[in-house]
Copies of this chain bind each other. A is one copy, B any other.
Amino acid sequence: MKNPRRQPGKPGPRSRQGVTLRDIAREAGVSASTVSRIINGTVKVSTTLTASVEAAIAKHDFRPHAAARGLALGRTFTIGVLSQAIDSPFYAEGLRGVERRLLADGYAALFMSGNWNVTDEERCMRKFIDHRVDGIIMFSGCLADAVVTEFAERCPIVVTGRELPAAHTFSLPIKDRLGATLAMHHLIGLGHRRIAFIAGSDNHPDALERLAGYRQALQEAGIAFDPRLVVRGDWQEKGGLTATTQLLEADRAFTAVFCVNDQTAYGAYLALFRHGLKVPDDVSVVGFDDLPSSSYSLPPLTSVRQSVRVLGERAAEAILALVCGRRPQLEPPPVELVVRTSTRRL
């Protein structure tokens, strides 16, 4: 069927050669153009031809080569999706949302992990460019605005968790500060005054904003800010564990702790548990993100919800719009406090 002679540009024998458009055309006794048109429904084709072509396609279970198609069309129907780690429960939900939305439009997602550092993030972006993705979604990266702007010259970008007013770009900022005040108002409303805060890593804008919200709420309530009540964590369970342990062992009096995110809260839970303290009887705990697992923690965790799933869906929606040259009209998902049973009146 295929010319067995080696030709220029035709490299060594590929293990198992697939069947091509031309093979189908030959078998159906038509031209490749016609097969292409039938597959894509581009033009009306007579029923008789259609039938024999479809038979040939079915017989070989022929599937057009996406990359070849992309090359001819000038677009790949692929979107690059950068998150910090594919196994982070926080991003996972967002990726899920993206995947779903993209799939609905026949786009594929190319997921890559930036591992919370600039080098890896930049490597991912270059990979995206290599693959000529039609667009890129960045989940709160740590790449400088200027760098992102430059990439946006080559390919439209949607960023979440930051505000980036550049061409070929759309931003879906996260309402960190507002969310944090929501959590604090709840705690304060419950009568708490000595509220500890387990922070995230300093280099993260989200971390800073959530801390700012913590302080703002304190101030509004006329409660003095006590720096000894804020300890840095690492966004993970481990950091929450050590930070809370530290707080406990330093014997700082506190009746509630607000954690920069849910994973941190899980760590705090364990620290409290180890010290024989009960949530919420001895101390109230609030998290941020409302991960799916938070409704299964013991006790179920009160948390600030910002649906990452929805964030992902909107990011996908936005990049699709950008790719088609439309200007997205999208809001970041709302934040709201989900009150469960990890908090109680003092």
Counting every copy of the chain, the complex holds 2
Flag if A296 contacts B86 (CB, 8 Å). Answer: no
Contacts of A87 in B (CB 8 A): 89, 92-93, 95-96
> With an 8 A cutoff between CB atoms, is A132 at the interface?
yes
Give a binary string over A49-74; 1 marks a CB under 8 Å from any B CB, 0 the rest: 00000000000000111111011111
> With an 8 A cutoff between CB atoms, is A99 at the interface?
yes
Contacts of A112 in B (CB 8 A): 99, 108
> With an 8 A cutoff between CB atoms, is A129 at the interface?
yes
Give a binary string over A76-87; 1 marks a CB under 8 Å from any B CB, 0 the rest: 100000000111
Flag if A66 contacts B293 (CB, 8 Å). Answer: no
> With an 8 A cutoff between CB atoms, is A22 at the interface?
no
The answer to whether A86 and B99 touch (CB under 8 A), given A11-B73, A266-B296, is yes
Q: Output the nearest chain B residue to A111 by Cβ-Cβ distance.
A: B111
**A75 vs chain B, min Cβ distance (A):** 7
Flag if B298 contacts A298 (CB, 8 Å). Answer: yes
Partner of A131, one of B11, B66, B292: B66
**A215 vs chain B, min Cβ distance (A):** 28
Contacts of A85 in B (CB 8 A): 96
Complex interface residues of chain A between 293 and 312 (CB less than 8 A to chain B): 293, 295-300
**A85 vs chain B, min Cβ distance (A):** 7
Contacts of A237 in B (CB 8 A): 292-293, 295-296
> With an 8 A cutoff between CB atoms, is A170 at the interface?
no
> With an 8 A cutoff between CB atoms, is A127 at the interface?
yes
The answer to whether A11 and B74 touch (CB under 8 A), given A154-B16, A293-B293, A298-B270, is yes
**A278 vs chain B, min Cβ distance (A):** 10
Distance, CA A1 to CA B295, complexed state (A)? 59
> With an 8 A cutoff between CB atoms, is A228 at the interface?
no
How many residues does chain A have at the interface if contact means C-beta atoms less than 8 Å apart?
Answer: 60
**A332 vs chain B, min Cβ distance (A):** 20
Q: Output the nearest chain B residue to A153 by Cβ-Cβ distance.
A: B16
Q: Output the nearest chain B residue to A86 by Cβ-Cβ distance.
A: B95
Q: Output the nearest chain B residue to A92 by Cβ-Cβ distance.
A: B87
> With an 8 A cutoff between CB atoms, is A5 at the interface?
no
Contacts of A89 in B (CB 8 A): 87, 89, 92, 293
- 30 contacting pairs across A/B (C-beta < 8 A): A11-B73, A11-B74, A14-B74, A14-B75, A18-B154, A63-B130, A64-B130, A65-B130, A65-B132, A66-B131, A66-B132, A67-B67, A67-B70, A67-B71, A71-B71, A86-B92, A86-B111, A87-B92, A87-B96, A89-B89, A89-B92, A89-B293, A99-B113, A108-B110, A237-B295, A266-B293, A266-B296, A273-B299, A297-B297, A297-B298
Interchain residue pairs A-B with the least CB separation, the first 4? A87-B92, A67-B67, A87-B96, A14-B74
